[in-house]
A and B are shown apart, each in its own frame.
Chain A
């Protein structure tokens, strides 16, 4: 059973460029989460989708960040334009809303470096 898949695993870009991170949740999971991990702030929830609909985007830092979930098996997190302070590890996680616990299953993360 495949886990959460994220791509790319590493991304190095220059300030001002657009960055797109991709996530494929676990099949059958109807909730999807994007997190950002930094040394200063730890793991922070950026946005939560349920049944492909954004439910809570209060963690999205600013308008430069956007996320979409066009279908149940794919989501993107876009940063445009990127800035050096966006450098972090970005995780995608998924879970089954009903019939399961509160456990979320995380992907391996994308390490983003903005120069």
Chain B
């Protein structure tokens, strides 16, 4: 039973265009959401996060949008660059100082074509 789903295993985008990666979750206790990026032969690296009290968080070319009612979040990358080609994981966790468990989606492989 997947609580965090990334329904697109892969995505190809032209350099300079927008990349939109989607993530859905089912557990209403999730309150904090993160995106990780992973290059081959490396560990996932933290990219950006959002708390449920917000609906948008922006960091440079990366913006995460959260729609709590739809239990959906998305990562926008604008403009996309070839170096953005990687696997992107969505993760979620319940709120609270004691929360520790990140539940990950299975990832979306983004290919940015020069």
Contacts and interface: CB of A to CB of B under 8 A. Distances in A.
Interface of A: 4, 31, 33, 42-43, 45, 48, 50, 55-56, 91, 93, 97-98, 101-109
Contact of B97 (A45, A98, A103, A108): A98
A101 to B, nearest CB: 6
B63 interface: no
Interface of B: 32, 34, 36, 41-46, 49, 89, 93, 97, 99-102, 104-107
B32 A106 contact: no
B106 A42 contact: yes
Contacts of A42: 104-107
A104 B102 contact: yes
Classify the secondary structure of B's interface with A: loop
A28 B32 CA distance: 23
Contacts of A50: 100
Contacts of A107: 43
Interface centre among B32, B49, B100, B101 (most CB of A within 10 A): B100
Given A31-B100, A108-B42, 6 more contacts: A45-B101, A102-B34, A102-B100, A103-B46, A104-B102, A105-B46
